[in-house]
Amino acid sequence: MAETLSSLKTQFLEYLEIEKGRSIKTVENYDRYLTRFLAFSKITSPSKLTEQSVREFRLHLNRQAGVSGTMKHKTQNYYMISLRAFLKFLRKREIESLNPERIELAKVGARDLDLITAQELERLMGGPKGSNVSDLRDRAILELFFSTGLRVSELCSLNRDLDLSRDEFSVRGKGEKVRVVFLSPAAKKTLKEYLDKRGDIDDALFIQMGKNSKNAKDLRLTPRSIERLVKKYATKAGITRKVTPHVIRHSFATDLLGNGADLRSVQALLGHANITTTQVYTHVTDKHLHEVHKKFHGQRRK
């Protein structure tokens, strides 16, 4: 008896988790995208999956209400990427279905970066001023973000057994890839002050404190908690635009590039699998282009 698309989807998700080593969050996203496609198309057999069924689903997605009136092409592409990966899995298993190469992604515009100025960054970093363990923790979080360019999930997963006698440590990022990140003197100093003042024995590097910690089963700070923390200090610093941990990651990258670092090195430090992801930063850091424009533009009009 031929297997249904639903049972094959389950096998595909298990393949992603076990053979491909994808994170649980990634597997959950793929599950959500594929489940929605199967529910819409009502197709149960792999051989019945056609370009027309995919086209109808794309039209359905495009007509879904979003912030800008319709679902963004970038979001639509997530569905197509998951479907294409599923079809590649079927082909690997020699199961007859639609050729994955027949699925094209929608063109998306250049990504806009949420950036803050150097002055705003300085005010943000100087937000936690006290000497109690909570303020020391918050200062260490902000300094570590800017020193390493860590993703918020990566920072949350850190344990307190960091070797502060060294200027570097390894972190496991997206796709279970391990990379090395580096500690600035300021980050090392604030981390040491914070850890020296900790009186608990919890393994996590950054934990809940005060009334929030009394009934908590797990003291480790969550990404959402750290996002709220960054937002609090951004508001305190008088920054009107939205500031998230990822904005500090942007600042980390643009600071390196603006001071002469090469793109490949920044790619490695950020843990980007593809350099095209890192290239989004170049247009905001290329001071040379401004100098060229200033020197050569409009000379005949003087």
**What DSSP letter does each residue of 134-155 carry, written as one string?**
HHHHHHHHHHHHHHH---HHHH
Q: Is 198 a catalytic residue?
A: no
Of 33, 79, 233, 281, which one is the catalytic site residue? 281
Q: How many CB atoms neighbour CB 176 within 10 A?
A: 10
| Partners of 204 in the β-ladder | 159
Q: How many CB atoms neighbour CB 197 within 10 A?
A: 14
The rounded distance, in Å, linking the Cα atoms of 264 and 235 is 34
Of 137, 139, 188, 249, which one is the catalytic site residue? 249
Over its C-alpha atoms, the chain yields an Rg (Å, rounded) of: 24
**What DSSP letter does each residue of 257-279 carry, written as one string?**
HHTT--HHHHHHHHT-SSHHHHG
Q: Is 174 a catalytic residue?
A: yes
How do beta strands 178-182 and 168-172 pair? antiparallel
Of 123, 174, 189, 220, which one is the catalytic site residue? 174
Structure tokens at 176: 């279970």
Q: Is 281 a catalytic residue?
A: yes
> Would you give the distance in Å from CA 38 to the centre of its chain?
28
The rounded distance, in Å, linking the Cα atoms of 229 and 225 is 6
Q: Is 217 a catalytic residue?
A: no
Q: Is 58 a catalytic residue?
A: no
Q: Is 63 a catalytic residue?
A: no
Handedness of CA 138, 141, 146, 151 (dihedral sign): negative
> CA 21, 104, 32: angle at the middle one, nearest 5?
45
Of 22, 137, 188, 272, which one is the catalytic site residue? 272
Q: How many CA atoms lie within 13 A of 5 on its CB side?
A: 22
Of 151, 188, 194, 233, which one is the catalytic site residue? 151
Active site positions, annotated: 151, 174, 246, 249, 272, 281
